[in-house]
Chains A and B, each alone.
Chain A
Amino acid sequence: MSNFIQFYALLEFIVHLNILEMKKVIIIGNGIAGTTAARWIRKLSDYSIQIISDESDYFFSRTALMYVYMGHMRWQDIQVYEEHFWSKNKIELLNQTVIHINESDNSITLRNSTKLNYDILVIATGSKTKFYDWPGLQFKGISGLYFKSDLEYIEAHSPKINHAVIVGGGLIGIELAEMLITRGKQVTMLVQEDSYWSNILPKEESKMVSEHILQHHVEIKFGTELQEIFASESNEVSSIKLSSGEIINCEYIGIATGVSPNIECLKHTNVKTNKGILVDKNLRTNVKNIYAVGDCAELQFTNDGRKAIEAVWYSGRMMGEVVAHNICGIEMEYEQGIWFNSAKFFDIEYQVYGYVPAKAVEGVESVFWQHEREDKSIRIVFDSRSKIVIGFNLMGVRFRHEVCDKWIQDKIELVEVVQDISLAFFDPEFSRNYSSNIVDVYNAKFNTKIRAKVNSLNSVLHFLKIKA
């Protein structure tokens, strides 16, 4: 009898192993979220992995599309892995369109009518450019800058462009402007607000970037919106009308008014969506065995002041890692953590850590230093009452992510952060050290006489290691 039990246990074990090995994961979308998920599933298991995308054969860095247009890199340079990476890691890539998800029998249907079964489905379909219903949107010469096909479109259309109009003043808008300026095009940006990206950037930083854009010979029209698009007889864009009534002749219109989750393929399924695909803390959708990550996922829980859809590279990467753990049986919850982001506005690098309000907020103050001549500034945001540091906003200055993160996480007081600010400096060696400038601003504001400490890399590492 005991032999039989042992045999049964062994049998069960083998069956269990088999089931583990045979799990079939399909990931829709080969962006940063989907690819990170695949990489981590491979690290943690032997599951079969298929990534399906109809955008490109291989994963590429979406944020680097502009550099291909500007000739800094070739297409193959923004593909993140060499070809052998995929076969070595046994990740199968399919350049196909998913037209339907059949959750009733755990399968998907491709455009070529192939049906593929899955045990686990990860939806990582990202975003798409948000178009508002401007009259004339059907004409030729209009695009966003999100997909590979957008890059190809702008490239092919470029010879016809003399004057381009960019609608929207955000991250994609400024990238489009920089791209077109390098090709010697005349560029006009339409910005709804009265200063560049002023719903995100504090006033001074927003002003700095606005002026920098002008120095690059981009014309900006603040407080204006696109009203109507006109075309020539061949249906090519010829001019636009602004909300102010002004008419601008142009051959190209770049739409940069934001992105929205790309969730077309979920139509006719029971997967619950709002703006994006609704997911729980484990990034599961309401349908069993279906997960969603990245730009297309909408969190049903958020930290204070954080969005339910954070369409940035970094969130996609983190979600990919978390979902892989959950799929491989290691339960893990996704928390948004301390916010960080970065960008580059022409020549000004931008980094943000923690909470940096764009408009004045009751009970929140900041210590702000700006370089007299160069486009550089440092802002340390703190809670007025407790003096605890809650955020950093950097323009043209590089700060250490981990140090800022730890300061915010550990709720360190402003005075300590200011004295030790050199711990955070990450500019190349021999760059100017702005410690004393920040200390001066602090001393003037609080009428104190504190001094900046000198820190080496070893002090930084020591500081970070203290962390439990």
Chain B
Amino acid sequence: MTISNGIMKGLSLAFGLLGLSIFILSLFDVFTYFHNGLLIFSLGFILLGVLTYCKYLYGGKLAGIKNNFVWQKSESNRGIIGIIVSIILTAFYVCLYWYPEVLGKSDIQNTGLIRLFDPLSLSLKNKVASEWFVYGVLYTFAILVFGIKFIIKYRHNRYQVLRTISVIFFQLIFAFLLPEFMLRMNLPYNDLKNMWPLNYYFFDQWNINNFFDAGSIGKAMFYFGLFLIFIGSPLLTYFYGKRWYCSWVCGCGGLAETAGDSFRHLSSKSLTSWRVERILIYSILLLVVVMTIGVIYSYKTGSQYWFFINTASLRSWYGFLIGAAFSGVIGVGFYPILGSRVWCRFGCPMAAILGIQQKYFSRFRITTNGGQCISCGNCSTYCEMGIDVRAYAQRGENILRASCVGCGICSAVCPRGVLKLENGSTDITEGRRSNKLSFVNESEVKLIQLK
């Protein structure tokens, strides 16, 4: 049993490295002949590697929670492999944002890694690839491949399977294919589901101009964006909680849930982290609101300053610090160190808004099943948002936290069937809090107050 398993593991590693080696070789301009086949070969072998790894991990085993040795494996316990992966990811993001020429970007003739993607870009939209096209392909591919792994891992849980199909769909169609086709049809490049304030350039002058220059379809897209922000999103959040976006639709969430799944337990559960989280995320929300108002103000009045704020400069600093450094470099680059939802938890202003709605105007809650909690800690450990789920569950309380993205993993890993994500208009917490006994109901221990 162990021998064939060892071969399987080695094979998966070999396939994956073979696929990756094409990227590395292309970085050094080894190839001279370019064809879609080369990219397909590379991505194909990575896919094969991941599938073989799934076979090694889950093959021939019954469906169920398989978190064995998550805390012993170097890749998932901040060990040496984890650190190396983190460094590579971070380096990639730094190049992508600030030194795209390292990846081979050129105005005359792409070289390196970006050149590898030219054939695909040409066949999709008749243009050579940009660094953003490369990023889009790799991002979508990562969600697809690790999404498949996630579905195999949680095949016994329909909530997880459907949710993952949803994030793959929205990434592949809405975030990747549709915008590319729109570009080909001379329409604005726009990810319809990417809402302000996650999409912080939505109200930028160039973006609005782009929409309005593109005729009625462009206008429709702009108004759809507004509709989502002010009507669609609050309604959906009211009925289902912020999960409809964060763990079913969003691209950042999509990557965290799929490629980041192996790192979800690394999120810090301490009270201090919770404090930092609240300060950071609401500050960034405030910042994005001020910045956006400033940008719109400058656009309308032509004035460079809104009060004492240089709006263009604030906008560019926001883009640099929050849009690139935080969400990209730290958000993804630090997956193997800080867990998969660092950006969503500490930074995303969209998550902040949805979180406030979820906490105060939503039917969503995680229900605790009577007195069945054994305080084991699986729920808290595997909460990617760092919520100490156990602290609520063991007191028989429901979980109503602004940060909860409704991934449902706490419920999945619970060995005693204690947690369930639910929507309902009735307030279940009524009378459950206060100084009441924590087990299921009073009949378990009859209260006989003699005094």
* The one of B64, B65, B375, B424 that contacts A61, using a Cβ cutoff of 8 Å: B375
Distance A217 CA – B426 CA, assembled complex (angstroms): 47
Q: How far in angstroms is the closest Cβ of chain B from A457?
A: 4
Contact partners of A43 in chain B: CB under 8 A: 435
Distance A362 CA – B135 CA, assembled complex (angstroms): 70
The verdict on A72 contacting B426 (CB below 8 Å), with A351-B417, A405-B443 known, is: no
Q: How far in angstroms is the closest Cβ of chain B from A368?
A: 19
Task: Bits for B433-449, please: 1 = Cβ < 8 Å to A, else 0.
Answer: 00101111101111111
Q: How far in angstroms is the closest Cβ of chain B from A358?
A: 21
Does A451 sit at the interface, judged by CB under 8 A?
Answer: no
B378 touches A73 (CB 8 A): yes
B372 touches A344 (CB 8 A): no
Does B423 sit at the interface, judged by CB under 8 A?
Answer: yes
Contact residues of B between 338 and 374, Cβ < 8 Å to A: 367, 369-372, 374
A63 touches B441 (CB 8 A): no
B445 touches A351 (CB 8 A): no
Contact residues of A between 333 and 384, Cβ < 8 Å to B: 333-335, 337-338, 340, 342-344, 346-347, 349, 351
A400 touches B369 (CB 8 A): yes
Contact partners of A462 in chain B: CB under 8 A: 426
A332 touches B443 (CB 8 A): no
A73 touches B377 (CB 8 A): yes
Contact partners of B40 in chain A: CB under 8 A: none
User: Of all chain B residues, which has the CB nearest A399?
Assistant: B417
B70 touches A72 (CB 8 A): yes
The verdict on A331 contacting B448 (CB below 8 Å), with A340-B372, A429-B159, A430-B158 known, is: yes
B158 touches A184 (CB 8 A): no
Does A71 sit at the interface, judged by CB under 8 A?
Answer: yes
Contact partners of B63 in chain A: CB under 8 A: 347
Contact partners of A340 in chain B: CB under 8 A: 370-372, 440
A321 touches B438 (CB 8 A): yes
The verdict on A457 contacting B424 (CB below 8 Å), with A61-B376, A340-B371 known, is: yes
Contact partners of A216 in chain B: CB under 8 A: 62
Distance A332 CA – B450 CA, assembled complex (angstroms): 8
Does B416 sit at the interface, judged by CB under 8 A?
Answer: yes
Contact partners of A405 in chain B: CB under 8 A: 370, 440-441, 443-444
Contact residues of B between 303 and 333, Cβ < 8 Å to A: none
Contact residues of A between 152 and 201, Cβ < 8 Å to B: 182, 184
User: Of all chain B residues, which has the CB nearest A408?
Assistant: B443
Distance A409 CA – B420 CA, assembled complex (angstroms): 24
The verdict on A401 contacting B416 (CB below 8 Å), with A61-B374, A64-B377 known, is: no
Distance A334 CA – B175 CA, assembled complex (angstroms): 59
Task: Bits for B403-430, please: 1 = Cβ < 8 Å to A, else 0.
Answer: 0000010011101110011111110100
Categorize the interface residue count of chain B.
35 or more
Does B72 sit at the interface, judged by CB under 8 A?
Answer: yes
Does B451 sit at the interface, judged by CB under 8 A?
Answer: yes
* The one of B270, B377, B412, B443 that contacts A78, using a Cβ cutoff of 8 Å: B377
Distance A73 CA – B376 CA, assembled complex (angstroms): 9
Distance A182 CA – B68 CA, assembled complex (angstroms): 7
A401 touches B449 (CB 8 A): no
B375 touches A32 (CB 8 A): yes
* The one of B64, B417, B438, B439 that contacts A347, using a Cβ cutoff of 8 Å: B64
* The one of B369, B416, B421, B424 that contacts A461, using a Cβ cutoff of 8 Å: B424
User: Of all chain B residues, which has the CB nearest A409?
Assistant: B443
User: Of all chain A residues, which has the CB nearest B163?
Assistant: A430
Q: How far in angstroms is the closest Cβ of chain A from B329?
A: 28
User: Of all chain A residues, which has the CB nearest B448?
Assistant: A333
Contact partners of B422 in chain A: CB under 8 A: 429, 457
B62 touches A426 (CB 8 A): no
User: Of all chain A residues, which has the CB nearest B63?
Assistant: A347
Contact partners of B438 in chain A: CB under 8 A: 317, 321
Does A428 sit at the interface, judged by CB under 8 A?
Answer: yes
B372 touches A342 (CB 8 A): yes
* The one of B158, B374, B439, B441 that contacts A428, using a Cβ cutoff of 8 Å: B158
Distance A314 CA – B369 CA, assembled complex (angstroms): 13
Distance A332 CA – B447 CA, assembled complex (angstroms): 6
Contact partners of A32 in chain B: CB under 8 A: 375
Distance A432 CA – B160 CA, assembled complex (angstroms): 14
Does A74 sit at the interface, judged by CB under 8 A?
Answer: yes
Does B381 sit at the interface, judged by CB under 8 A?
Answer: yes
Does A305 sit at the interface, judged by CB under 8 A?
Answer: no
User: Of all chain A residues, which has the CB nearest B435?
Assistant: A43
Contact partners of B72 in chain A: CB under 8 A: 71
Does A330 sit at the interface, judged by CB under 8 A?
Answer: yes
Contact partners of B73 in chain A: CB under 8 A: 71
Distance A347 CA – B67 CA, assembled complex (angstroms): 12
Q: How far in angstroms is the closest Cβ of chain B from A42?
A: 12
B62 touches A215 (CB 8 A): yes
Q: How far in angstroms is the closest Cβ of chain A from B151?
A: 14
Contact residues of A between 75 and 90, Cβ < 8 Å to B: 77-78, 80, 82, 84
Q: How far in angstroms is the closest Cβ of chain A from B71?
A: 5
Distance A54 CA – B417 CA, assembled complex (angstroms): 32
Contact partners of B440 in chain A: CB under 8 A: 340, 401-402, 405
Does A112 sit at the interface, judged by CB under 8 A?
Answer: no
Does B267 sit at the interface, judged by CB under 8 A?
Answer: no
* The one of B2, B69, B413, B417 that contacts A71, using a Cβ cutoff of 8 Å: B69
Does A412 sit at the interface, judged by CB under 8 A?
Answer: no
Does A10 sit at the interface, judged by CB under 8 A?
Answer: no
Given contacts A72-B65, A333-B448, 19 further A-B pairs with CB under 8 A are A63-B376, A64-B374, A70-B68, A71-B72, A73-B71, A73-B381, A318-B371, A331-B449, A340-B372, A347-B62, A351-B372, A401-B372, A402-B369, A402-B440, A405-B370, A429-B408, A429-B421, A457-B424, A461-B428
- Give 11 pairs: A residue, B residue, CB < 8 Å, sorted on A: A61-B374, A217-B1, A318-B444, A321-B437, A331-B448, A332-B449, A401-B371, A405-B441, A429-B158, A429-B421, A461-B428
Residue positions of B touching A, CB distance < 8 A: 1-2, 62-65, 67-73, 156-160, 162, 270-271, 367, 369-372, 374-378, 380-381, 390, 394, 408, 411-413, 415-417, 420-426, 428, 435, 437-441, 443-451
User: Which A-B residue pairs are the 9 nearest by beta carbons?
Assistant: A401-B370, A347-B64, A398-B417, A457-B424, A71-B69, A337-B444, A64-B376, A430-B158, A344-B415
Residue positions of A touching B, CB distance < 8 A: 32, 43, 61, 63-64, 67, 70-74, 77-78, 80, 82, 84, 182, 184, 212, 215-217, 313-314, 317-318, 321-322, 329-335, 337-338, 340, 342-344, 346-347, 349, 351, 398-402, 405-406, 409, 426-432, 456-458, 460-462, 465, 467
